[in-house]
Structure 1
Amino acid sequence: MLLKDKVVMVSGVGPGLGIKLALEAAREGARAVAIGARDQGRLLEAQQRIKAVAEHCEVLCVATDITDVQACQRFAEATLKQFGRIDALINSAFSHGGFQAVDEADNDPLREALEVNLLGSLNMSRAVLAPMREQGAGAIVMINTLGVRKPYQGGAAYAASKSALAASVRYLASEQAAHGLRVNALACGWMWGEPVQALVRQSAVARGVSEAQVRAEFSAGIPGGRMRSDEECARAAVFLASDYASAINGAQLDANGGEVMY
């Protein structure tokens, strides 16, 4: 079990990758998973799902808006108080920031994406640094996207914020290595899970074509033509959070089925 006896925090627990990260951490032996999201109801639902697959795993639910520095601090402090340590943080909370081209004049989508994806992730990461330093060990994993290297329609704001996050990963990894901490990123592509399934359904209805056609279009750039599932990508993040990745620091691991290979 990759995370046997570890205490893992996951931000942004929602219907897609976030809940799968928590579930996979529990399956891989974490003794406790602390989950954060804005919606308390969603957290309680996630708690039930985690206990269903790993009865041994303790679950802490903390309503958290990562754009609020104090909220991030409360999340970390509650985890530390409940479980005594924090071994890993996986930052999954995100905002797409709308779907706009770069030449559109409205900067609000970019501001929103930067506030959540960059600044929010840094808020949450800073909140765990002190306890991890005191332990002399800890892993932070940032969820990123292949959109920073492969443009897609309407992804400019999201990709810009995630590009900034990728740079921050390298700097944070370099700065914290002396304290025994590792910081890495996971670059996901299209993931076959609830959010993308909903997008495929909406696109199919709007265009008057079959869902199979839209799904095939989404998968066309992936060798083998198969989108990876949320669970598959979550397992890659769990690996980065584990001691099996102890030699990996400041890296970005692609989890997109080979759609981007550089």
Structure 2
Amino acid sequence: MLLKDKVVMVSGVGPGLGIKLALEAAREGARAVAIGARDKGRLLEAQQRILALTNTCEVLCVPTDITDIDACNHFAANTLEQFGRIDALINSAFSHGGFQAVEEGDNAPLREALEVNLLGSLNMSRAVLGQMRTQGAGAIVMINTLGVRKPYEGGAAYAASKSALAATVRYLATEQAVHGLRVNALACGWMWGEPVQALVRQTAAARGVSEEQVRAELSAGIPGGRMRTDEECARAALFLASDYASAINGAQLDANGGEMMH
């Protein structure tokens, strides 16, 4: 098991990748999963699903807004108090920041995206650094996006914030390596799960075409034409958090089925 006996924190537990990260961490043998999100109802739903999956993984729910530094520190402190250590943090919480073209000139969507995706992820990461440095070991994984390298309509604010996050990963990884910590990122493409399924339904209805057509269009650039699932991308992120990735630091792993290749 990838995460046998590990204590894993996951921010941004929502209906898509976030809850799958928590579930897959439990499935991979984590001793405990601490989950944070603004919506307490989603946390409780995730807790129920994890406990239904296994009786060997403890679950801690901490309502957390990652734009609030005190909330992030509270999340980390509760995790440490409950489980005695923090082995991994997966920063999955995000905001798209709205959809607009760069030329529209409204910086509000960009500010929102930066506040959550960059500064919020840094708040959460800083909250665990002290304990990980005391342990002499720990892994942080930032969830990034293919949109940084492949523009899509309305994605400028989101991609700009995630580009800043990608640069920060390299600096944080360099700074913390001497303490035994690793920091990496996962760049996801379209993921077949509840959020994208909802997007496909809405787009199909608005355009008067079939859902199958919209899904095929989104998958057209992927070799083999198959969109990867939330679960598959979650497993890739958890690999980066595991000891199997001990040689990997400051990297960004693509999880998009080959839609973009280095």
Q: Specify the TM-score bucket, using the shorter chain as the normaliser.
A: over 0.9
Structure-2-length-normalised TM-score: 1.00
Aligned to 1:22, what secondary structure does the other structure show?
Answer: helix
Match in the other structure for 2:67: 67
Aligned to 1:224, what secondary structure does the other structure show?
Answer: helix
Post-superposition offset of 1:105: 1.3
Post-superposition offset of 1:24: 0.4
Match in the other structure for 1:92: 92
Match in the other structure for 2:164: 164
Q: What is the distance in 2 between the residues matched to 1:198 and 1:40?
A: 22
**One-letter amino acid of the counterpart of residue 159, structure 1:** A
The answer on 1:205 being equivalent to 2:193 is no
Q: What is the distance in 1 between the residues matched to 2:215 and 2:34?
A: 34
Cα deviation digits, residues 113-139 of structure 1 (max 9, x gap):
000000000000000000000000000
Please give the residue correspondences for 1:168-179 in structure 2 after superposition, counting only pairs within 5 Å. Answer: 168-179=168-179
Deviating more after overlay: 49-58 vs 173-182: 49-58
The answer on 1:194 being equivalent to 2:165 is no
Match in the other structure for 2:7: 7
Cα deviation digits, residues 72-106 of structure 1 (max 9, x gap):
00000000000000000000000000011111111
Match in the other structure for 1:236: 236
Q: For this pair of structures, how many residues does the alignment match?
A: 262
Q: What is the distance in 2 between the residues matched to 1:221 and 1:78?
A: 43
Match in the other structure for 2:142: 142
Aligned to 1:50, what secondary structure does the other structure show?
Answer: helix
Q: What is the distance in 1 between the residues matched to 2:231 and 2:25?
A: 11
Q: What is the distance in 1 between the residues matched to 2:191 and 2:241?
A: 20
Q: What is the distance in 2 between the residues matched to 1:31 and 1:217?
A: 41
CA RMSD in angstroms, aligned pairs only: 0.3
Q: What is the distance in 2 between the residues matched to 1:81 and 1:180?
A: 22
Q: What is the distance in 2 between the residues matched to 1:13 and 1:29?
A: 19
Q: What is the distance in 1 between the residues matched to 2:158 and 2:115?
A: 11
Q: What is the distance in 1 between the residues matched to 2:208 and 2:55?
A: 45
**Sequence identity, in percent?**
88
Gaps of 5+ in 2: none
Q: What is the distance in 2 between the residues matched to 1:102 and 1:53?
A: 44
Q: What is the distance in 2 between the residues matched to 1:35 and 1:5?
A: 17
Post-superposition offset of 1:52: 1.0
The answer on 1:133 being equivalent to 2:121 is no
Match in the other structure for 2:261: 261
Q: What is the distance in 1 between the residues matched to 2:109 and 2:55?
A: 41
Q: What is the distance in 2 between the residues matched to 1:136 and 1:21?
A: 24
Post-superposition offset of 1:245: 0.1
Q: What is the distance in 1 between the residues matched to 2:162 and 2:55?
A: 35
Structure-1-length-normalised TM-score: 1.00
